[in-house]
Amino acid sequence: MSERSTKLLLEDISVAIQTIFQFTEGYSFENFESDLKTRQAVERNFEIIGEAVARLPQEFKDLNPNIEWRVIKDFRNFIIHDYFGVNHQILWDTIQLRLPELNLDIKKVIDSNHF
């Protein structure tokens, strides 16, 4: 397993978020639910986000308590381990309601250069 810097891990998170937004742009929940390829691609990018979060140094996470690091990692674990029972509505709601805020928070951290 290669070591990635905190900056690269944050960029991985940012790219995965942008990819999810691109894959779901213009979609309704019904479009998303009926599109297996998009759902699986979105799940993969949530896995990337969670894995990158898991690899961030704890000291860094402690300095940025406004971001729900544990929730993000737990969401990744849910997708990985309960893959057969992933609720599409939960995925969709996360994209619509939680991901925009995470996107802004990650951008702020990257722009601050405090890592």
* 1 pLDDT higher than 60: no
The amino acid sitting at 59 is E
* pTM higher than the cut 0.85: yes
In the set 76, 88, 98, 114, the catalytic residue is 76
Q: What is the DSSP string of 44-92?
A: HHHHHHHHHHHHS-HHHHHH-TTS-HHHHHHHHHHHHHTGGG--HHHHH
> How far is the C-alpha of 32 from the C-alpha of 44, rounded, in Å?
15
Spatial CA neighbour of 49 closest among 34, 69, 64: 69
CATH topology of domain 6-112: Four Helix Bundle (Hemerythrin (Met), subunit A) (1.20.120)
pLDDT score recorded for residue 115 = 72
Q: Catalytic site residue 55?
A: no
Res. 2 pLDDT band, cuts 50 70 90? low
Q: Catalytic site residue 76?
A: yes
* 48 pLDDT higher than 60: yes
**pLDDT by residue (tens digit) across 101-111?**
999 999 999 99
In the set 55, 70, 81, 98, the catalytic residue is 81
Question: What is the residue extent of each domain of the chain?
Answer: 6-112
